[in-house]
Amino acid sequence: MLENLEKIKVRFQEELNAVNSTEELEKIRVSFLGKKGLVTDELKNLRNLDAEAKKTAGMQVNLLKEEIEEVIVTYQKQLEEKEYQKQIESTERFDFSIPSSVEVGTLHPITIVQKQIEDIFKTMGFIIEDGLEIQTEYNNFEAVNIPKNHPARDMQDTYYLENGQLLKTHTSAAQNTIMRKYGAPKPGEPLKVLFPGRCFRNENIDASHENTFFQLEGMMIGDDISISNLIYFMKVLLTEVFQRDVKVRLRPGFFPFVEPGFELDINCLICGGDGCPTCKQSGWLELLPCGMIHPNVLRMGGIDPDKYTGFAFGLGLTRLAMMKYNIKDIRLFNSGNLKQLKQFTK
Ligand code: DAH
């Protein structure tokens, strides 16, 4: 019997040396330790021995069994580690140096115009802020001097939410938050902020009306800000966007949050001023409502109107993009029509 055990040991070692995978190892385990395995056979054979021989032989067989079990467990771990490494090595890696064959997307025309204006204003020292799309009634109306029951609230058909908040109807909704965030400006260091954003109004949609559109608001507040600052910045803005001298006209306009308020119109670029459906045959397009910030608005923003003045403007970004790219139907912007939207690249 002992001889047998020696042979089994040698055979196990030989077979083990040829093993390359966990599956092969498992086969060996079964052929030695399984129900009909060689070691198990030896254990069964013990019953044919007398008591004394059984004791010593039994010990030997069990020793061999334990030894084989131990070797198998260690070997198993090594093989698993090897197989894991192999798997990692063969996994396809992303090669960043391979030129892309994927079709590259383009920026949305509104994004292009927005970025362009942001760049212009950044060079003039403006900070870019992001207004929330969901706003409180206070921020959207009260804080910009549109109290409850004020007729101006009818001008803007609002989407109210179930929680009493609303989808902002204009970018002016962020004025109060921004004034509070930055506080009163230091002497000679006016607060200059630009805050573009998506706005919502409950409009019937047609070629020139959308319920979801973009505005871009700007504000400059300091101890010596006047209408001439306002006009200067508006001129720079329009000249840069259209890359030519654009004819503008300023006429009085009413907005509760500015006093005085203006409508800055530009010469219709679609018809050149002759009159067309886009400009309602007038040759002019309302593009840039603006004005000097109303003292109430400054006060509500925590800024003393006796010490500071400021201007604000609310540019119709969607309309500006229509002008710039000669887009006649506002519905294109939200249409998801990539084929058409991709034409506009700069
Ligand atoms: N919030 C106004 C609107 O959506 C636009 C506007 C007008 C903004 C005059 C201004 C401003 O900052 O001074 O109709």
Query: Does residue 112 have a pLDDT over 90?
Result: yes
The pLDDT of 19-23, averaged and rounded, is 89
Evaluate: CB of 258 within 6 angstroms of ligand 1. yes
Q: What are the residues facing 263 on neighbouring strands?
A: 251, 289
Task: Tell me, yes or no, whether 69 and 133 share the same domain.
Answer: no
Report how far ligand 1's centroid is from the alpha carbon of 172 (Å).
6
Q: Are residues 69 and 200 in the same domain?
A: no
One domain for residues 148 and 84: no
Q: Is residue 186 part of a domain?
A: yes
Residue 131 has pLDDT above 90, yes or no: no
The pLDDT mean for the chain works out to: 91
pTM summary value: 0.69
How many distinct structural domains can be found in the chain?
A: 2
Residue 287 has pLDDT above 90, yes or no: no
Alpha helices in 150-279 (DSSP H): 152-155, 175-182, 227-242
Question: Would you say residue 104 lies in a domain?
Answer: no
User: From the CB of 263, is ligand 1 less than 6 Å away?
Assistant: no
- The letter for the amino acid at 96 is F
**Last residue within a domain, chosen from 44, 62, 90:** 90
Domain with 269 in it: what CATH number? 3.30.930.10
For residue 147, give both structure tokens: 């109290």
Q: What is the pLDDT of residues 181-238, one digit of tens each?
A: 999 999 999 999 999 999 999 989 998 899 999 999 999 999 999 999 998 999 888 8
Per-residue pLDDT of 80-103, as tens digits, reads 998 888 888 887 777 778 787 777
**8 and 42 co-located in one domain:** yes
Q: Specify if 121 maps to a domain.
A: yes
Are residues 49 and 79 located together in one domain of the fold?
A: yes
For residue 97, is it within any domain?
Answer: no
Structural domain that includes position 29: 2-90
Same domain, 19 and 83: yes
DSSP 3-state percent helix, strand, coil across the chain (nearest 5): 45, 20, 35
Nearest CA to ligand 1 atom 12: 313
pLDDT at position 43 over 90: no
Q: Which atom of ligand 1 is nearest to the CA of 171?
A: 1
- State the amino acid at position 267 in one-letter form: N
Q: What is the pLDDT of residue 297?
A: 98
Residues 6 or more apart in contact with residue 275 via CB below 8 angstroms = 268, 281, 282, 283
For a pLDDT cut of 90, what percent of the chain falls above it? Answer: 58
- Residues 6, 114, single domain; the answer is no
Q: Is residue 291 part of a domain?
A: yes
Task: Quote the tokens at residue 286.
Answer: 């309302």
Q: Do 179 and 68 share a structural domain?
A: no
Q: Mark whether 313 and 193 lie in a shared domain.
A: yes
Residues 155 and 296 in one domain: yes
* Domain assignment present for 98: no
Pocket of ligand 1, candidates 146, 170, 233: which has the most ligand atoms within 8 Å of its Cβ, to mutate? Answer: 170
Based on the domain organization, do 46 and 119 belong to the same domain?
no
- Flag whether pLDDT at 33 surpasses 90: yes
Residues 144 and 250 in one domain: yes
Domain end among 39, 56, 90: 90
Are the CB atoms for 169 and 103 separated by under 8 Å? no
